[in-house]
Structure formats: structure tokens, C-alpha cells
């Protein structure tokens, strides 16, 4: 390299590019014999990720040899240069924020390590070994290369007259002779989506933020008196709301490149440009807080493309901490006791909605009632075993843990009232929808839930 060349830093940081692209860049490098299914699996995976809104590109080894690497032959030196150019190109594309697939034979461990070394300086790298047996590759022979190699028309052909070294540390291993392309692509897609966020770590940090917010809330709650003022919508706000909001907003900014929508801060419309958004109610149930009945919660949700994927609901007075995670088709919901005063936390307990569709336990709001609800309950009184009231998101959490079955809320709420609870309920197997039955989404231009909503343990529990 010439000593007269100076590297020019990018105008945008990696974080700015991630935010703009709404994704974390990654290079998935598929290696394996000719005919193993590398490119076919990569195309299927790319198509599916693209349909989910991800920005992707596939660098196919053969295609690149028509242009970028058209001056190279298949000597050892040229093979190395081919991989170097592919890796540098993939690294630049990932630096722009793309999820990049590379399909190239990459026959030796030295070349596999070279690709990893180059890409890893600027982006995540995952090696995917497509370990399809050579007999299967030979029987497919889509380009007729094995026939030519067997006839001696192609020298140093990998797998025939040149060796292929299986990777020692591939992140993924596929075999298209055992699993069809759809199944192999599914493995790749799930791997890419998993790379976008560490859900376990994010949920743990969200719980820690909720716990710290709970401590601040209880400090105000324990006072003999505290100021209560009314906001423009006549809803009450206290020093506890504001303190908890500061704590949570500071904590979540380090969890992910996400926007923040919270009840107690001015709305930033640029959140609508983000795929990831935290939706926060630092003190849900301020009326319950003011009346000192203990039925208030801290609500934190992480939303992706409008859907809550993690929800944390904390009840400071009792120490109940509910967590719901929904991602890649998998759901898990749990409850643990985490005292705000530093007491020993309990082990997490898996929770699930009840299986009842008759003799239903109905939750009601302690602070809100309506004529519509009264009429609905009267029409279905023969299916109702009991009616119990509670404040804040506790109602949804009680349904999530099977202690109640249904809840109907007519009238206006905001998405920060429901987002975290929705994740917990749905992760526990329940249903939360708008009153007409439409899906409830989040991070919307209009934060009001104007149609009301309902929570069910199962479809058959719906009241008519």
C-alpha cells in the first residue's frame, strides 16, 4: 500500500447508520462445495428478511467473478485474492448498514479465517458451513462442473482434484441433503434475527430499570404528603412519576438503538422512523398511587415494527415483577418477586393464562367504569363466576398468571398504558386486541387507544 494514502473517517457513525437503517449489520458467509445449496439457501433467506423490512444484499462468488474479480484465475494466489476482495466488499456494504450474504466456496480454513478477520473489523460476521455431501453435490451438478472436472477439463476443482477443509468454528452448519432449502433458510433467518438483539440481556436491564424506578416511587410514596398536579388532560402527575421517568429513560438509552415514547416526556416524532421503540409508563395508576392502595405499576415495553417483543411490569408495593418476551415465534412469560428495598429476589416462575372458557373471572378497573361494560356483563352474567377490580396493568398480569380470565376496557387509554402488559399477556398465551377485534399496535402517530381494548385468556372466552 502506498504511504501517501490517508484513511478518511466516515461522515456518519455506526450508531447513526444503525438508527437510519433500523437494523444491525451482519455478514453471513456461506461456504461449501459447488452444488451444496449455498446460493439457493442464501437467496431464500434474503428474500424472507427483505419481506420483513430488512435491507439486504447477496454477493455470489460466481457473479463477482464476472466483474470485480474477472481478472483472477483459480491459482492459490488468485483464490486468496478473490476471497480478500469479497470480504472487503462485504465489509464496506455492512459498514453502510446492510445485512450481507456471501456465497463462496472458500475452500481452506486459512481463507475462512481471512474473511472473518477482514469483516470483523467493521461488522458482525457469521460463518455458515453448508455441509452437503459431495455425492449429493455431484448428483445435482447444476453447472456441469463436476462432469468437466471428472473429465480432466477443470484442474484444481474443489472436492475433486483440490481439497475442501471443513470449518472448525462455524456459527451455523447446514446440510441441504437432510433439510430442504426452506428449512435451511429458516435457520439462517432465525440466526440473523437473533443477532439483532440479545433479548435476555435486554429484559434483565429493563427489569433493573423498573426496580430502580420502583425504589424512587416508593421513596415518594412513603412520605406523609406529596404534591399532586394536573396535566393538560386532567390526569394527575407526582414527583414519583417524574423521578421514575428520568431513571428509566436514562437506563434504556444504553440497551438498544431505539426511540423512546413515554407518558412523562415530550413526544419526539422521529420515533416513527425507528423500527425499535421503548414505550414507557413510569407510573401506571397514578390515581391508585395518590389514593395509596398500592395498585400501581412501572411499565416498560420494547417494541419492534409496532409489536411489543419485551414487556416488563413491576409492582413496587408487592415486589411482583412480570416479564413477557415474544420473538421469532417463541413466547415466554414469568413472574418473580423483586423487593424494591433490596430483599432477596425469588426464582422466576413461568406463568400462563387459564384454560377456562366458562365460569369466568372478570377483571374490572378500580378507577374507570362505563355503561357499555355494565351492559356487556349483564348480557353474559350466566358465564361469569366472579368480578374483581384492580388498578393499572395489574389486571392484565392477573390474567397472564391465570388468576383471572377476561378484561374489557371501553374508553380512551394510551399505548404506554397497554404495551408492556400486552407483551406479558401475549407471551403467557393470552390475547389483547382493540374492542372491534383489530390487532393492537404501538409506536403510532396517534398514541391514543381510541377504540378501547379487551384481554382474553382464550378466544372462546370472548363476551358477546
370-403, pLDDT tens digit by residue?
A: 888 889 989 999 999 999 999 889 999 999 999 9
* Confidence band of 231 (pLDDT split at 50, 70, 90): low
CA 271 to chain centroid, in Å, comes to: 17
Output the pLDDT for position 253. Answer: 84
Instruction: State how far the Cα of 130 lies from the Cα of 406, in Å rounded to an integer.
Output: 49
Output the pLDDT for position 254. Answer: 76
CB 390 within 8 A of CB 398: yes
Listed residue (313, 314, 312, 311) closest to 327, CA to CA? 311
Give the pLDDT mean for 425-451: 95
pLDDT for residue 1 is more than 80: no
| Least confident among 91-105, 146-160, 219-233, 244-258 | 219-233
Q: Going by C-beta distance under 8 Å and a sequence separation of 6 or more, which residues neighbour residue 223? A: none
Three-class SS of residue 428?
coil
Domain ranges within the chain, ordered by starting residue? 16-195, 199-461
What is the chain's mean pLDDT, rounded?
91
Listed residue (66, 94, 72) closest to 84, CA to CA? 72
Instruction: State how far the Cα of 36 lies from the Cα of 40, in Å rounded to an integer.
Output: 9
* Confidence band of 230 (pLDDT split at 50, 70, 90): low
Q: Distances in Å between the alpha carbon of 267 and those of 21, 59, 116?
A: 21, 41, 42
CA atoms in the 13 A half-sphere facing the CB of 359:
4
pLDDT for residue 330 is more than 70: yes
Give the pLDDT mean for 340-365: 93
Output the pLDDT for position 12. Answer: 81
Listed residue (392, 452, 398, 450) closest to 425, CA to CA? 398
Q: Quote the pTM value.
A: 0.84
Fold of 199-461: Fructose-1,6-Bisphosphatase; Chain A, domain 1 (3.30.540)
pLDDT for residue 366 is more than 90: no
* Confidence band of 421 (pLDDT split at 50, 70, 90): very high
Output the pLDDT for position 434. Answer: 95
Question: pLDDT (tens digit, 9 = 90+) per residue, 274-283?
Answer: 889 999 999 9
Q: Going by C-beta distance under 8 Å and a sequence separation of 6 or more, which residues neighbour residue 374? A: none
Give the pLDDT mean for 33-50: 95
Other residues' Cβ atoms within 10 Å of the Cβ of residue 214? 28
Instruction: State how far the Cα of 222 lies from the Cα of 345, in Å rounded to an integer.
Output: 22
DSSP 341-374: TSPPPPPPEE------SSSEEEEEESS---HHHH
* Confidence band of 185 (pLDDT split at 50, 70, 90): very high
Instruction: Kindly list the strands in the beta sheet with 320-327, ordered across the sheet, starting from the edge strand earlier in the chain.
Output: 259-262, 276-284, 297-304, 307-315, 320-327, 330-337, 349-350
DSSP element (H, E) containing 378 = helix 371-379
| Least confident among 42-46, 161-165, 281-285, 310-314 | 161-165
- Bigger pLDDT: 327 vs 308: 308
Other residues' Cβ atoms within 10 Å of the Cβ of residue 328? 12
pLDDT for residue 198 is more than 90: no
CB 453 within 8 A of CB 342: no
DSSP element (H, E) containing 215 = helix 199-221
pLDDT for residue 273 is more than 80: yes
CATH architecture group of domain 16-195: 3-Layer(aba) Sandwich (3.40)
* Confidence band of 460 (pLDDT split at 50, 70, 90): very high
Q: What percent of the chain has pLDDT over 70?
A: 98
| Least confident among 15-19, 74-78, 302-306 | 15-19
Output the pLDDT for position 42. Answer: 97
Q: All 3 cell numbers of residue 176? A: 441441504
pLDDT for residue 234 is more than 80: no
Instruction: State how far the Cα of 442 lies from the Cα of 326, in Å rounded to an integer.
Output: 15
Amino acid at each position: 500500500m502506498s504511504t501517501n494514502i490517508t484513511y478518511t473517517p466516515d461522515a456518519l457513525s455506526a450508531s447513526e447508520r444503525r438508527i437510519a437503517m433500523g437494523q444491525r449489520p451482519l455478514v453471513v458467509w456461506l461456504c461449501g462445495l459447488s452444488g451444496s445449496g449455498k446460493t439457493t439457501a442464501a437467496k431464500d433467506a434474503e428474500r424472507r428478511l427483505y419481506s420483513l423490512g430488512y435491507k439486504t444484499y447477496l454477493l455470489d462468488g460466481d457473479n463477482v467473478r464476472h466483474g470485480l474479480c474477472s481478472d483472477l484465475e483459480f491459482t492459490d494466489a488468485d483464490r486468496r485474492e478473490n476471497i480478500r476482495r469479497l470480504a472487503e466488499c462485504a465489509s464496506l456494504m455492512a459498514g453502510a448498514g446492510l445485512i450481507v450474504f456471501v456465497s463462496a466456496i472458500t475452500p481452506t480454513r486459512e481463507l475462512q479465517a481471512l474473511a472473518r478477520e477482514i469483516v470483523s473489523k467493521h461488522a458482525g460476521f457469521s460463518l455458515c458451513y453448508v455441509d452437503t455431501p459431495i455425492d449429493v453435490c455431484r448428483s445435482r451438478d447444476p453447472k456441469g462442473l463436476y462432469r468437466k472436472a471428472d473429465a480432466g477439463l477443470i484442474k484444481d476443482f474443489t472436492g475433486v482434484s483440490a481439497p475442501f477443509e471443513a470449518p472448525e468454528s462455524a456459527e451455523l452448519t447446514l446440510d441441504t441433503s437432510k433439510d430442504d432449502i426452506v428449512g435451511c433458510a429458516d435457520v439462517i433467518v432465525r440466526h440473523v434475527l437473533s443477532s439483532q438483539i440479545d433479548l435476555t440481556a435486554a429484559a434483565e436491564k429493563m427489569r433493573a430499570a423498573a426496580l430502580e424506578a420502583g425504589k424512587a416511587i416508593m421513596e415518594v410514596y412513603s412520605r406523609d404528603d406529596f404534591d399532586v398536579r394536573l396535566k393538560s388532560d386532567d390526569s394527575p402527575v407526582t414527583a414519583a412519576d417524574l423521578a421514575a421517568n428520568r431513571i428509566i429513560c436514562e437506563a434504556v438509552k444504553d440497551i438498544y438503538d431505539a426511540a423512546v415514547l413515554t407518558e412523562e416526556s415530550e413526544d419526539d416524532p422521529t420515533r416513527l422512523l425507528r423500527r425499535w421503540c421503548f414505550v414507557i409508563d413510569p407510573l401506571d395508576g397514578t390515581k391508585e398511587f395518590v389514593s395509596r392502595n398500592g395498585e400501581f405499576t412501572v411499565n416498560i415495553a420494547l417494541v419492534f415494527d409496532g409489536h411489543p417483543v419485551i414487556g416488563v411490569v413491576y409492582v413496587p408495593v408487592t415486589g411482583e415483577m412480570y416479564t413477557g418476551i415474544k420473538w421469532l415465534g417463541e413466547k415466554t412469560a414469568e413472574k418473580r418477586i423483586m423487593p424494591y428495598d433490596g430483599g432477596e429476589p425469588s426464582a422466576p416462575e413461568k406463568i400462563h393464562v387459564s384454560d377456562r372458557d366458562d365460569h369466568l373471572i372478570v377483571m374490572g378497573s378500580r378507577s374507570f367504569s362505563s355503561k357499555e361494560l355494565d351492559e356487556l356483563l349483564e348480557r353474559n352474567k350466566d358465564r361469569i363466576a366472579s368480578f374483581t377490580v384492580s388498578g393499572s396493568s395489574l389486571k392484565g398480569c392477573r390474567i397472564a398468571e391465570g388468576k383471572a380470565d377476561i378484561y374489557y376496557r371501553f374508553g380512551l387509554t394510551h399505548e404506554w398504558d397497554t404495551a408492556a402488559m400486552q407483551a406479558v399477556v401475549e407471551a403467557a398465551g393470552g390475547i389483547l386486541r382493540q374492542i372491534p377485534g383489530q390487532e393492537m399496535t404501538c409506536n403510532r402517530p396517534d398514541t391514543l387507544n381510541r377504540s378501547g381494548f379487551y384481554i382474553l385468556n382464550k378466544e372462546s372466552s370472548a363476551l358477546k
